[in-house]
Amino acid sequence: MLKITKFIVQDLFRNWIILLYMIFLMAASFGFFMLEGQADKALLGLLNLSLLVVPMMTIIFSTMYYYNMYEFIVLMLAQPLKRKTILSSIFLGLCIAFGLALIVGLGIPMLVMNYSIASLMLLGVDLLLTFIFIAIALVAGIWTRDKAKGMGVSLLFWVYFVLIFDGLILLLMYNFSDYPIEKIILYITLLNPIDIGRILVLMQTQAAALMGYSGAVFNQFFTQGWGIALAFLALLFWTALPVFISFRLFHKKDL
Amino acid sequence: MIHIRELNKKFGKHHVLQNINLQFELGQGVALIGPNGSGKTTLIKALLGMVIPDKGEMLFNGSSIKNQSLYRQNIGYMPQISRFPDNMKVGQLFNMIRDVREDIKADVYDWELYDSFEIEQMKTKRLNILSGGMKQKVSAALAFLFNPKVLVLDEPTAGLDPVSNEILKEKLRKSITNGKLVLITSHILNDLDEITTHVAYLMDGKTQFFKSLEQLKMETSEDRLNKIIAHILNGEEAVHA
Amino acid sequence: MLYKLLIGFIFFACSAEVLSAKTWHVKPKSDLSEIKKAVEMAADYDTVYIHNGTYFEDLITIEKPLTIIGVGKPVIDSNGGDEILIVASDNVNISGLTLQNVGVSFLKDRAAIRLVEVRNVVIKDNILKNTFFGIYLQKSSHCKVISNTIIGDAENEINAGNAIHIWKANNIEVIDNMVSYHRDGIYFEFVDQSLIRGNSSKYNMRYGLHFMFSNYDIYKNNIFQHNGSGVAVMFSKQIKMIENQFKDNWGGASYGILLKEISDGLMEGNIFERNTIGVLAEGANRIRISNNNFINNGKAINIKGNCLNNEILSNNFIGNTFEVLTNSKSNLNHFEGNYWGQYKGYDLDKDGIGDVPHRPVNLFALVTDKIPAANMLLHSFLVNSMEMAERMFPQMIPEHLIDKKPQIKPISHDSYQRTQ
């Protein structure tokens, strides 16, 4: 398995899109910290950007990559290799490549310019989001045979997590604004990894105070040890779920 | 060597394989023939574990291949259309596959096709710029490289030039005499004449017949494979009519 | 003749008084080691010097015009007891003392120094430590509280007093004091024509300045920083607030300044920096808010719909998350000539004024005002995109809350400050 993973990582690092992604992240990170005097504001800008770009980039690229690797998968399947091995190699390869791109592009500038808990948290969140959206991309790719359709499904997932989910929550809050729904909303946000990540990081910055009473409820939760642990656990669960689904789908898939 | 029992596969409503029963042994050269969409490729892919059958079982050397991967050590596969990862060079491909196949020691390797197709010369070429025929050559060389007991070739002659075609056929013939099992699908029946010992005919997902070539020759009193098939088909039409 | 005689008599009387003024020296382990005794023995207009040492005394009542001067920072320690100095006479000066450890009482607002219905009293250069209330003025006028340092050790609001507490008074000057760790730094209730200048009020539990029912007052050049809620100015009129700094009031319900039910005031040249809300205005009318700097606040101005005819002119809004928030669709206030950090317009004619007006109200700020729970969507892509759409095609934000002359560059307030 490690041999195939190694091959995939090498293959990915020859890919100019990943390099471009890394350079873009790096430019953006340095840019934010240099243009924005306040470290906290820069971090928030970076949070906005990375929560948008990281899931989008990973899911689109990973879906594409899965389809491009289709022949490779078939070739490997003709060898005495387990399906599990082949898929894990692809997943791991993508995780390593994107993870490294993120650590170099986002992590290093952030830790150089502003070494803080919030920075570490943002890096951790972005890493987990990377893994999650790679896994979702694999689900979309394995699920649909057609490349165009698969891309569509991936983009739909992305739009859902980045936009539609929040819209639905807003609608929910609007309709139940007379009730104390903060606690419920708190648990609903656990259903969206991007929201979990955003709030986790936000709570480490001064922006937390902006959020008023509901902020206080969230603050209590997301700054306590067990709250953070639960949030990260939720993110790990969010990684495990699509990974599990993709392996199930792949196990039964006709190639 | 390979037992296929009551094999069924549906793609949606389309019943691609219906109750297939076949048995192949070492030393046979099996021609798997039939019109387009008759289920040949699906059968081969099922054998390789790429397509998961709905019902029935396949035994390789007496044990079921369901959820297994190790039996593929003994199979060399050449797909219908050879496609490889884009960014790879020919040499890298061979290195990588050899890397993956650490179960086979280097002294067992069969370099014959590799040499006769002159693959060494295109080592530094990227796979995505190779022509279809060149890819087929690479694919064929790979299939034979690990000296497997069973060779599965899906339309192997489709893109090959006549010279290469002859090389491949010669290699196949030799393999059969050496006691290997060769499973070939092809439209071009002329190509199969010299290497076929048995013929399996598939149509609409069903096995029409599976007989040895001698038997067929006797039954139809024809000599050439394409004539035999034509004879049988015409005969059937006559019966149906 | 009679007239001359009268003047002569008055002159004589005065000089006799001055001539007869004595000095008293209180020292530990001397014949006069008790302050209370010295105050008792002293005649009107005498001076009592209190020398270096620690005096455990409380309830020293001064009922005649006296000057009390601490020499070498003497300490008067109430030792958890009652109030220390009670001034019940006009013309008293108290300076140079260190007063400490007044006991907390839930029945009485004990203070280190209490002024009761007096005039012309000066409290200067004293240090007050852990005294529940610090300096407490009631029904007094023309008094000065200058350069005192008042430090409490309040841990919660309930058993904390105010550092400088003034109730029913006029013509008071509170200048250059440092007040911290109390419930309120400076408390004004029914205090007119007074001046608060150059004070520093930090780390108080509730308000840096708590200001109610007080009219015609000026506060200027003060720093209010790290207070629980910030500064509250309520139910007052004709207040001038000039060149103060409101900083670091950062918490769920904090603000730089709360303007509640106040009218006809002026707010000029102040700096609001890093507050959750810079200015929170409820029922504020005819206030002129000009030449202030709003920097890095959560919400620079939250102006409620019941505020009328306020003028917000020539301020700088830099680095705030939200610039203006309101809970009304209509706008009865005037915004003009401010610099808005979030202005996205352009200036083709290069006159320094943006060619398109600026709408400083942010949609998301409005939404969270109505649905507080929506706060959790802060910095989400949904919210960011909604805001962008709303800026282009306003639907929900008040149409008339608009700055028609947004500045392209931050306004330099130096010129303004020089004229002050």
> Model ipTM?
0.85
Contact C250 A206 (CB under 8 A): yes
C376 neighbourhood in chain A, CB within 8 Å: 169, 185-186, 189, 195, 199, 211, 214-215, 218
**Mean pLDDT over all residues of chain C?**
88
pLDDT score of A211: 66
Residue C370 at interface with chain A, using a CB cutoff of 8 Å: yes
- Do chain B and chain A touch with ≥3 beta carbon pairs under 8 Å? yes
User: Of A3, A15, A74, which is closest to B50 when you measure between CB atoms?
Assistant: A74
User: Of B79, B86, B103, which is closest to A80 when you measure between CB atoms?
Assistant: B103
Q: Are B7 and B55 in contact (CB under 8 A)?
A: yes
CATH class for the domain made up of B2-240: alpha beta
C60 three-class SS:
strand
Residue A134, pLDDT > 50, answer yes
User: Of A81, A83, A252, which is closest to B100 when you measure between CB atoms?
Assistant: A81
Residue C327, pLDDT > 60, answer yes
B48 neighbourhood in chain A, CB within 8 Å: 77-78
Q: What angle do CA C95, C98, C101 make, to 5 degrees?
A: 140
User: Of C321, C370, C382, which is closest to A210 when you measure between CB atoms?
Assistant: C321
Among A183-192, A214-223, B203-212, C289-298, top mean pLDDT goes to C289-298
User: Of A38, A206, A212, which is closest to C375 when you measure between CB atoms?
Assistant: A212
Q: How far is B178 from chain A (nearest CA, A)?
A: 22
Residue C276 at interface with chain A, using a CB cutoff of 8 Å: yes
Contact C371 A173 (CB under 8 A): yes
pLDDT score of B156: 85
pLDDT score of B241: 41
Q: Which of residues 302-321 of C touch A (CB under 8 A)?
A: 319, 321
Residue A174 at interface with chain C, using a CB cutoff of 8 Å: yes
Contact B101 A79 (CB under 8 A): yes
Task: Report residue C11 as tokens.
Answer: 């002159």
Q: Are C298 and A209 in contact (CB under 8 A)?
A: yes
pLDDT digits over A144-203, tens only? 989 999 999 999 999 999 999 999 988 888 888 788 787 888 888 889 999 999 988 888
pLDDT digits over C4-28, tens only? 655 655 555 544 445 567 899 999 9
How many Å apart are CA C194 and CA C309, to the nearest integer? Answer: 26
pLDDT score of B107: 85
Beta bridge partners of C406: none
Q: Tokens 């060389």 identify what position?
A: B141
pLDDT score of A210: 66
pLDDT score of B187: 73
Q: Are C245 and C201 in contact (CB under 8 A)?
A: no
CA atoms within a 13 Å half-sphere pointing along the CA-CB vector of C79? 5
Residue C154, pLDDT > 80, answer no
pLDDT score of B180: 92
State pTM to two decimals: 0.78
Which amino acid, B57? E
- CA distance to A6, A85, B75, B127, C242, per residue, from B99 (Å): 11, 15, 17, 18, 79
pLDDT score of C300: 92
pLDDT score of B237: 54
| C189 phi, psi to nearest 5 deg | -135, 125
Mean pLDDT of C248-261: 88
Preferred mutation among A50, A170, A186, A219 to probe C, highest tally of C CBs within 10 A: A170
pLDDT score of C121: 95
Q: Which helix (H) or strand (E) holds A194?
A: helix A193-204
Q: How far is A252 from chain B (nearest CA, A)?
A: 7
pLDDT score of A214: 63
User: Of C252, C367, C385, which is closest to A215 when you measure between CB atoms?
Assistant: C252
Q: Are C178 and C200 in contact (CB under 8 A)?
A: yes
A166 neighbourhood in chain C, CB within 8 Å: 377, 380-383
Contact B84 A83 (CB under 8 A): no
pLDDT score of C415: 47
C248 neighbourhood in chain A, CB within 8 Å: none
Q: Tokens 């109610």 identify what position?
A: C212
- pLDDT tens track of chain B, all 241 residues? 899 999 999 888 888 899 999 999 999 999 998 888 888 889 999 999 999 999 999 999 888 988 888 899 999 999 888 778 777 889 988 988 888 888 888 888 888 999 999 999 988 988 888 888 888 899 999 999 999 999 999 888 777 888 998 899 899 999 999 999 999 987 777 778 788 899 998 888 888 888 888 888 888 888 888 888 888 877 665 544 4
pLDDT score of B67: 87
Contact A210 C253 (CB under 8 A): no
Residue A43 at interface with chain B, using a CB cutoff of 8 Å: no
- C neighbours by CB contacts (3+ pairs under 8 Å): A
CATH class for the domain made up of C21-228: mainly beta
Domain locations along chain A: 2-252
Residue A213 at interface with chain C, using a CB cutoff of 8 Å: yes
